[in-house]
Chain A
Amino acid sequence: MLGFLGLPTWSPYIVGVAIGLLVCLSLVISDRPLGCSTGFVKTCGLIERVVRGKDVENTEYYREIPPRVDWQFTILPGIVIGAFISSILSGVFSPEWIPPLWEATFGDNVVLRIAVALPGGILLGLGARWAGGCTSGHGISGNLQLSVASMVSSACFFIGGILTAMGLMSLGG
């Protein structure tokens, strides 16, 4: 009954073309390229504001990226909802601690998976802000705007990622 919407996966070309059009739509209606990593700065700032009070807004970085519930923040819960709807429609939603490839390589210890994933997340967040964008902001939105900084960043995302992934997997049993 759901037809196309209920398929478990779509062709990467259909998805890519649709994402390209979505970035164009975002540039027209929001005057913004689509990006995700600024949302984590907003999330962090909003949490710090609750814990440490309004003073955090005077921090140098939060003066540039104010901790507000705005476009750059709401895109993150949006992505969670969108992916949830898609996975429910195709019947693949399922809570899971360890991805199958990880389990086949390193076993089913949840603590080990998180002990690698958490530092990975920290480096990912640090690196994204250091480079001024992520795989969406630089990798898609920046590259399609012909930005030199985005092309250099994307190349480095993959160089660092490929070397680390090959090293990591060679440690597995």
Chain B
Amino acid sequence: MTLAALHKNTGAQAVLGLLIGIAFGFLLQKGAVTTYEVIMGQLLLTDFTVVKVMLSAVLTGMIGLYILERKGLARRHVRAGSLGSNVIGGLIFGIGFALLGYCPGTVVGAVGQGNLDALFGGVVGLVLGAAVFSRLYPSLSRGILKKGSFRSKTLPELLHMNQATVVVLLAVFMVIVLVGLEFMGL
């Protein structure tokens, strides 16, 4: 089966989603980022596990995707953004993030390791939050979500630099941050 045919096979994709989820949940739990104390520690700036996991994932994936794209094995899925969508939505998310102490991926992982507040507060709340958004969507999508649209979709477009340069600069920056965190004992 070619990759294009696999992408269109919705049954196979539902199984792949499950398998990718299993791997992701396993890794999140092993990384301890499904733990309330670790997430709150990050938001209180006393435990940098979340940032270490995220930065090493972005660093690896950024280089991996750069290679895969050149080999024609993967393509980018980047959507346009706006101040009204990403800043306001991001800040609302942040408030919920701290009150709950988990994010949408880690909250389901926390359910898997037995956290009942993650199930009855988190998962129930997230479904209700999605219900609220689906009701607001018709008016939001014509108004605030379009306010202050970003002119560029990607960092290379924004900086007028080629992709390889941006990948190298970002990689160096992320390595410096990670080494810095270790150096400071965080």
Pick from B6, B40, B86 the residue with the most CB of A within 10 Å: B86
Complex: A24 Cα to B150 Cα, angstroms = 26
What is the size, in residues, of chain A's interface with B at 8 Å between Cβ atoms? 123
Residue in chain B with minimal CB distance to A142 = B78
Q: Give the interface SS of chain A, mostly helix, strand, loop or mixed.
A: helix
* Cβ-defined contact, B30 with A15, below 8 A: yes
A126 adjacent to B96 (CB under 8 Å): yes
A22 to B35, CA, bound (A): 21
Q: How far is the CA of A94 from the CA of B34 in the complex (A)?
A: 13
Contacts A15-B31, A135-B103: A98 and B98 contacting too (C-beta < 8 A)?
Answer: no
Report whether over half of chain B's contact residues are helix, strand or loop; otherwise say mixed.
helix
Q: A23-B61, A71-B16, A83-B25 are in contact. Are A156 and B73 (CB under 8 A)?
A: no
Size class of the B contact interface (CB-based, 8 Å): 35 or more
Q: Report which residue of B26, B103, B114 has the largest number of chain A beta carbons within 10 angstroms of its beta carbon.
A: B26
B121 and A153 form a contact (CB under 8 A)? no
A17, A21, A158, A161 interface centre (most CB from chain B within 10 Å): A161
Identify which of residues 120-159 in chain B touch chain A, using a CB-to-CB cut-off of 8 Å.
120-134, 137-138, 140-141, 145, 150, 152-158
CA distance A18 to B73 in the complex (A): 19
Most interface-central of A47, A130, A169 (chain B CB within 10 A)? A130
A80 to B113, CA, bound (A): 8
Chain A residues near B60: list those with CB within 8 A. Answer: 16-17, 19-21, 24, 144
Verify B89–A147 contact, CB threshold 8 A. no
A41→B130 contact, CB < 8 A: yes
CB-CB < 8 A to A151: which residues of B? Answer: 155
Q: Are A75 and B21 in contact (CB under 8 A)?
A: yes
B180 interfacial by beta-carbon distance below 8 Å = no
Verify B128–A125 contact, CB threshold 8 A: yes
Tell me whether A149 and B80 are in contact (CB under 8 A).
Answer: yes
**A13 partner residues in chain B, CB cutoff 8 A:** 52, 56, 178
Among the listed A102, A129, A146, which residue makes an inter-chain contact with B130, where contact means beta carbons less than 8 Å apart? A129
How far does the alpha carbon of A95 sit from the alpha carbon of B120 in the complex, in Å? Answer: 13
What residues make up the interface of A, taking CB atoms closer than 8 Å to B? 7, 9-10, 12-13, 15-34, 36-37, 39-41, 43-45, 47-48, 59-62, 69-87, 90, 92-102, 113-114, 116-132, 134-136, 138-166, 168-169
